Structure 1
Amino acid sequence: MASAATSSTAAVMFSSATTSDGCSRLADRISPATAFRGGLTRNAAAVIKTRTIKTHDCNSVSPRSSSSAVDDAVVSISPPDSNDVLLTAMATEAYVKVIDGKSAAKEIREEIASEISRMKESIDVVPGLAVILVGERKDSATYVRNKKKACESVGIKSYEVHLAEDSSEQEVIKYISSFNDDPSVNGILVQLPLPFHMNERNVLNAVCLEKDVDGFNPLNIGLLAMRDREPLFVPCTPKGCIELLHRYGVPIKGKRAVVIGRSNIVGMPAALLLQREDATVSIVHSRTKNPEEITREADIVISAVGQPNMIRGSWIKSGSVVIDVGINPVEDAKSSRGYRLVGDVCYEEVSKVASAITPVPGGVGPMTIAMLLSNTLVAAKRAYDYK
């Protein structure tokens, strides 16, 4: 699985504008309003509240090479005390809407927990997720801990294998095979990246199709690409992007969409999902001519390239919706950690142009883990023919 969505995504370089206008701004933050599309039924009322958000000059950042753990949390916003939601929305209409992935992920976890509780009461079964971690990368270890904590919060039983950096590829595949044969394990996740001496393709292909909750198996991607077929699982990060669009009522059908980045983990499956939703999709990558011009035509932009602040305000059409998958550490002497996190999108510029945007952190990141839990629940229901 990709570390925080984009650490496994191939970084691509584009030329970009250099203008910047860092400032503080007010932004609407709305909690998701539509039903979860995984067979769960809870609907949440939309709430809107203004909030001052501190931004930074996009030109002042420099990439920081680090494998340090990062915190993907943002301050949660409580619902307004009154019922004047519509009036609040009208009063703050001029401000960009912040697509709050943390809030959406919380709602999804609650829905999943309720479904797992019902499943346990009905057939005395709870889903199981196995995670295999190889090596001592601090960021990978943090992501695994976060996944374990998320599993516990919804009632999924977690299994963890931690292997040394110099373990052989066959050792990893041996554990995968044992989990393939274990009926209590419904999903298997191999934390990426793997050490350089391992063939990532061989390892991921060893996960049986029915337990490929990361959605990386070529058969799952192939089925996703076919209009008359359904994959068993969809990769978690692009699935989370589309889920955010649905939950915030963003229309996709008939819209022009641009996906920036063409990785197997995020970019390509995101483009396939948008096509399934009847969008007209373009993919911008490192060999694309005039990427800014192409991106400016989009009603929906999903960026997953791993380049801090690459997408500037001049790239974005007024009123478009921007989903920023990037999570990039950049040097920041004012931070106690010595760095801060920014996305692929220059937030203070794009937020002045877009109608809605995901923040970094607190946007797509929390949704990736929520979709992993969702896929694990789907795998367990399928294994036991539970509706």
Structure 2
Amino acid sequence: MQHGAAYMSSMSYNGPCDRCEAGWEHHGGKCYHFSISKSSWNRSRADCRAKGGDLVKIDSREEQKFLEKRLREMNKTEEKFWIGLKRSADEDRWFWMDGSPLNKSLTFWSRNQPDTRNGTNRENPAGQSVRVGGKGRAPDLNLSTMSRPQSCIEGEAPDSQHAKSNKGSKVTKERAALLVSGVLLAAALIVIYRLLFEIMRTKENLKNLEDHRMKCENNLTDGPCDRCEAGWEHHGGKCYHFSISKSSWSQSRAECRAKGGDLVNIDSREEQRFLDGRVRNLMNEAEDQFWIGLTDSAAEGRWMWVDNTPLNERFSFWLSGEPNNLTGITPEGEDCVAMWKKGGAPDLKSWNDSPCSVPHRSICEKAEVTGQIKYEEASQQASSPEQNRSSQESLQNKMDFTSTRGTTGVPGPL
């Protein structure tokens, strides 16, 4: 039975630069904080909420994989971390702290879990425990294990529980009145605490907004805000678009160029890892493939990217037995490259040469959009949180972005 554990918390962040506060890590549009101290589930959640977030809600396999990876990197594989999952009072179902029920298709219980044999605490919070197997990887991402802190029922002392077991004891009217008064006083203190916390958080947000306004008025001396247009995903200083329709390699490239980019050029292992993970999540069928900007159309066996740079063999990720230039589908063979493997490719090797005329989905790439934000001088300071929020929305609407995008060369024949 576990007395306490560290915890993982998350919160959404929609700031203009998609950054997280100090001590938080950004991933997938959320900010994560990994505690270094241990406490009960209730105390851990209170700490998260005091930081403006909550215990983490895991709602995708990709997010579970990210958390597992971070725990391995932190050398915390033997530790247990609280997450925001809790059993209902009737022990009939599990639900997250935002009130949503646990999606049974996205559960990652360890073997023989959840196990309700230990303890009697009806809150039954779920803790995250990483048990690494093989080469430092948890088998099939099954990371969650249930545990309960050894404590009395919240709000009761051990003596009162013992008194409960004495069926002959009676509660006098005076004690009942004192109990009601105590509950009302505790509720009032909680309300006051929450109000003070909200006031402090509002002041901090206003200060951050003012600091950001000053930086923008000084032409963003700390660097421009990196953004991607709607429908594009930002990663590593680039913007990526994953098509939902299928077309030939040439048509896919034309569509990418019409959007201001080109078929993706993969020039690092880190970029391949990012794309491999996204492709696995986006594949609807096991045979789905995504065109990338690599072809040997100009000269058989001489693979070139769409910017006319040759393939660096250090950063090639061919599937076993590829490329093989089969001519069974079309006489011209296989001169264009797509990536796939829904179940995950060993060592990120997911490239496959394919006939250029076969319709596949595609990955477009272009440089991030950088801009300079200009603000009009405010005529007066807002005197309330509502006025400050109105000012913030007004300033956001007055942003003026000047886009700068990278250019790409033109490869062999389209």
State TM-score, norm by structure 1: 0.22
Which has more radius of gyration?
2
State TM-score, norm by structure 2: 0.21
Q: Which has the higher contact order (CA 8 A, sep 6+)?
A: 1
Higher relative helix content: 1
